[in-house]
């Protein structure tokens, strides 16, 4: 009798643990993801039997060379007072970087009779790093769910696309002269930043911290979802709506040019034999600024989606989406806005286990991913991996990858 009672209590406790409740009342956790991508080298190009990397300039002449990397991390605390209202706090960091070497440069390097030509845009590049903290709210009014997330953000670094031009003469070998005009905007004084990146120790004063925080900005994110009927939900989200721009006080402007004079055949032969040593002239001293007010915004993103449930339950959900991004590290120009679209298929077993497959094009990257979620009520684990590349075919050749992990604790 006692064993039966104990078994019943254990089963009751497990049922409570695995119960399909709407949300945890209180939860805290972390989310992190990191990704890299390029449009030329795949994993098997680097790790091959011959242990050699073959660089085809003719292939690069058709597409140019694109390289990018992103990383994000966030810690949060959420309190769900009821199914109709929730409140949360979060803080995190996000970093993005990319380079894009013009295909025109590779076309000239592969031409033997191109003569003398000027290239106005040899390379485009950009980078940004932000620290943020904010408030997350959620509301539910009947079939309508709303969420608002105002946040303060502080830019640590921002590098807009530099101006790079070149004059190339391929009449006899390759003679080139490149001119670079780049500005790096920073939240910390250059000498402090350089000491942090070096091995000289940690030297960060309270004044430096205050000057960095003084340049904070403010934006907000918004999302909405409406349950049209048991089979269809419609939703939209807007991330980082600018309310008040952040400002970077410090900057370093770098201007230099350097000549190159080499024979392509000799260069490739030296590279293959490990004898090539490219000596570049020293850079001119950068010009530092310490009283700037350079305005910086975080990437602005719009997304619209529909969720179709063919069995009128969340067992299987198909979710197409469409949208665009602007004000990214790719620059402020209108032609740099990014079109986004994707499709996700979900298999949900109650609120305990979820499997998702997704494919799409987002911020100039093709991505195909797999996601898993395991919810034990007191602990939830989210895992995701994806193959990605700026080139569609390359996204299946492991030319880039992304990995994400999320942990949630609470009840």
CB 28 within 8 A of CB 409: yes
Contacts of 359 (CB under 8 A, 6+ apart): 342, 343, 367, 368, 369
Q: Which two tokens stand for residue 210?
A: 């205050």
**Is the distance from CB of 361 to CB of 342 less than 8 angstroms?**
yes
The listed range with the strongest mean pLDDT (26-35, 156-165, 295-304) is 26-35
Q: How far is the CA of 389 from the CAs of 110, 362, 395, in angstroms?
A: 25, 10, 5
CB atoms inside a 10 Å sphere around CB 273: 8
pLDDT at 121 over 80: no
Largest CA distance in the chain: 97
β partners of residue 43: none
177-207: pLDDT as tens digits: 777 788 889 888 777 766 655 555 556 667 7
Give 267 or 385, the one with higher predicted confidence. 385
Whole-number Å distance between alpha carbons of 328 and 302: 13
Query: For 28-52, what is each residue's pLDDT tens digit?
Result: 999 999 999 988 887 766 666 665 6
159 and 185 Cβ atoms separated by less than 8 Å: yes
- The tokens for 301 are 């993103």
* Length of the chain counted residue by residue: 411
In this structure, how many other beta carbons lie within 10 angstroms of the beta carbon of residue 37? 26
- Least trusted range by pLDDT, from 123-137, 224-238, 259-273: 259-273
- Does the pLDDT of residue 15 top 60, yes or no? no
Q: Flag whether pLDDT at 328 surpasses 50.
A: yes
- The 3-class SS string of the chain reads CHHHHHHHHHHHHHHHHHCCCCCCCEEEEEEEEEEEEECCCCHHHHCCCCCCCCCCHHHHHHHCEEEEEEEEEEEEEEEEEECCEEEEEEEEEEEEEEEEECHHHHHHHHCCCCCEEEECCCEEEEEEEEEEEEEEEEEEECCEEEEEEEEEEEEEEEECCCEEEEEEECCCCEEEEEEEEEEEEECCCHHHHHHHHCCCCCCCCHHHHHHHHCCCEEEEEEEEEEEEECCEEEEEEEEEEEEECEEECEEEEEEEEEEEEECHHHHHHHHHCCCCCCCCCCCCCCEEECCCCEEECCCEEEEEEEEECCCCCCCEEEEEEEEEEECECCECCHHHCEEEEEEEEEEEECCCEEEEEEEEEECCEEEEEEEEEEECCCEEEEEEEEEEECCCHHHHCCCEEEEEEEEEEEC
Mean pLDDT of the chain: 81
CATH numbers and ranges of domains, the chain = 2-410 (2.40.160.40)
Separation of alpha carbons 25 and 8, rounded Å: 26
Whether the pLDDT of residue 335 is over 60: the answer is no
Cβ neighbourhood burial of 17 (10 Å; 0-12, 13-18, 19+): exposed
Query: Quick one: which of 366, 361, 373 has its CA closest to 396?
Result: 366
Give per-residue pLDDT as tens, 62-108.
Answer: 677 888 999 999 999 999 998 899 999 999 999 998 888 877 777 66
Q: First CA to last CA across the chain, in angstroms?
A: 32
> Is the pTM of the predicted complex or chain greater than 0.85?
no
């Amino acid at each position: 009798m006692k064993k039966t009672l104990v078994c019943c209590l254990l089963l009751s406790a497990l049922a409570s643990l695995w119960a399909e409740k709407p949300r945890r009342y209180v939860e805290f956790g972390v989310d992190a993801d990191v990704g890299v991508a390029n449009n030329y080298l795949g994993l098997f190009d680097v790790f091959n039997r011959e242990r050699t990397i073959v660089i085809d300039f003719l292939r690069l002449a058709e597409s140019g060379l694109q390289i990018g990397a992103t990383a994000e991390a966030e810690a949060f605390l959420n309190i769900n007072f009821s199914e109709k209202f929730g409140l949360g706090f979060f803080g995190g960091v996000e970093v993005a970087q990319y380079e894009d070497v013009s295909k025109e440069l590779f076309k000239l390097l592969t031409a033997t009779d191109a003569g003398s030509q000027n290239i106005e845009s040899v390379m485009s590049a950009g980078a940004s790093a932000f620290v943020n903290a904010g408030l997350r709210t959620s509301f539910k009014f009947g079939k309508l769910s709303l969420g608002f997330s105002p946040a303060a953000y502080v830019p640590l670094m921002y590098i807009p696309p530099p101006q790079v031009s070149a004059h190339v003469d391929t009449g006899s070998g390759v003679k080139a002269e490149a001119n670079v005009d780049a500005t790096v905007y920073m939240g910390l004084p250059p000498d402090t930043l350089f000491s942090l990146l070096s091995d000289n120790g940690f030297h960060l004063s309270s004044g430096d911290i205050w000057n960095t925080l003084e340049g904070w900005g403010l934006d907000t994110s918004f999302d909405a979802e409406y349950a049209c009927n048991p089979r269809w939900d419609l939703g939209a989200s807007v991330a980082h709506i600018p309310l008040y721009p952040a400002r970077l006080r410090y900057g370093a402007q770098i201007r230099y040019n350097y000549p190159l004079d080499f024979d392509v055949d000799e260069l490739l032969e030296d590279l293959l034999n490990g004898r090539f040593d490219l000596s570049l002239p020293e850079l001119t001293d950068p010009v530092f600024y310490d009283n700037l007010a350079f305005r910086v915004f975080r990437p602005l993103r719009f997304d619209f989606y529909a969720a179709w449930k063919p069995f009128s339950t969340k067992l299987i959900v198909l979710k197409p989406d469409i949208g665009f991004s602007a004000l990214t590290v790719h620059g402020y120009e209108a032609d740099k806005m990014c079109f986004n679209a994707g499709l996700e298929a979900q298999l949900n077993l109650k609120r305990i286990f979820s499997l998702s497959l997704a494919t799409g094009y987002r911020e100039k990257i093709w991505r195909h991913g797999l996601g898993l979620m395991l919810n034990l009520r007191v602990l939830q684990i989210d895992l995701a991996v994806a193959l990605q590349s700026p080139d569609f075919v390359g996204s299946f050749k492991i030319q880039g990858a992304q990995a994400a992990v999320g942990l949630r604790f609470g009840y």
